[in-house]
Chain A
Amino acid sequence: MYYKFSGITQKLTGSAPTVAYNPQGLKPAIPAESPTMIFATPTKVVSEAGAAAEYMGTNKVPDLQRLFQTSDGVPVHLKRGYPDRLLYRTTMALTVGGVVYCLVALYIAAQPKKG
């Protein structure tokens, strides 16, 4: 008996040997590495001698990928450090303050006559 991890039931289920030897997410004849990412094909300009295409800024994605993939246990919404923390704290303050303001406003609105 061979087993595979069923994506539907999230449990091990019986399977054919071929599936068991090809774990979920990996298929034969498809390379495990993702295809080479093509961000932009270089424009054919004579003066540019084989340099990477540069139109409206340089590609910072590899640097950002390195930054966000550091294994420091920080959740994604705080991964950039100070600016993320500032925005998060502001949002949370407005959230808590807003709930209090809302409850007070609804309490006042619920008063009879001069509500």
Chain B
Amino acid sequence: MAHQAHAYHMVDPSPWPLTGAVAALLLTSGTAIWMHFNSMSLMSLGMILLLLTIYQWWRDIIREGTFQGHHTPPVQKGLRYGMILFITSEVFFFLGFFWAFYHSSLAPTPELGGCWPPTGITTLDPFEVPLLNTAVLLASGVTVTWAHHSIMEGQRKQAIQSLTLTILLGFYFTFLQGMEYYEAPFTIADGVYGSTFFVATGFHGLHVIIGSSFLAVCLLRQVQFHFTSKHHFGFEAAAWYWHFVDVVWLFLYISIYWWGS
């Protein structure tokens, strides 16, 4: 890379796009085989291949950026655009489920009793665990901002502590939601209420897990001195994603838990 006359990153040939595509093939056809022939082998193989691809692809990006210096300012700008576009696509993904919820709840059909919540549904009290969950995620938004400022100021110990706290709050949210799911008086099969509730909050929970994992990788990298006070885009991307997850929860809480109860 010392011999190029431009600031962009021409990547080395890599096998991971191919292995990732094959993983997608195995996951999708594996799911179909699981549903019709009661065999999880193909799907599991796809999952393993996906995890291997994820690990090695992102490991290589860390090598290229942190160890080889390929992430110059123009390259970093591209990465920023990329992350912003990805998060935007996720916003549209959730928009669909909110559309489904409002479609069903603003004009409840006679089959539901013409009311929302539908007849027979005992909703969760929005001022109990869901409110605690809201507080937990808002607090985690504060701690992740604290972590960012610590990194920018070169405060290693504080950065590690605040980032750890953020991840613990994320785990606490997941644990509380898990308990709520277990104790809920309704299931996904309970009409359109159950469907919209569990699909929307379920995908949100998955994103909390993904976000927590992203932050955990950042913690590992912070401990290993990968981030500098001026260059730590991996962490910023994780923080953006985490704020997005927080905002989606706020919309879920207001719409489904509170207005919908």
Q: Measuring CB to CB, which residues of chain A are less than 8 angstroms from any residue of chain B?
A: 5, 7, 23-25, 34-35, 37-41, 43, 53, 55-57, 59-61, 64-65, 67-69, 75-77, 79, 87-88, 90-92, 94-95, 97-99, 101-102, 105-106, 109, 115
Contacts and interface: CB of A to CB of B under 8 A. Distances in A.
Given A5-B5, A91-B15, A94-B48, 13 more contacts: A25-B7, A37-B231, A39-B156, A65-B66, A65-B68, A91-B56, A95-B18, A97-B45, A98-B23, A98-B25, A102-B25, A102-B30, A109-B33
Interface residues of B, number: 57
B19 A95 contact: yes
30 contacts: A7-B6, A23-B5, A34-B231, A37-B230, A38-B229, A38-B230, A39-B228, A40-B154, A41-B154, A53-B156, A55-B160, A57-B223, A59-B225, A60-B225, A61-B67, A61-B226, A64-B67, A65-B66, A69-B67, A76-B63, A91-B19, A91-B53, A95-B18, A98-B49, A101-B26, A101-B41, A105-B33, A109-B33, A109-B37, A115-B36
A115 B33 CA distance: 10
Closest 8 CB pairs of A and B: A40-B156, A25-B7, A68-B67, A75-B12, A37-B228, A59-B225, A41-B154, A38-B154
A61 B229 CA distance: 15
A61 B225 contact: yes
Nearest to B159: A40
B156 A87 contact: no
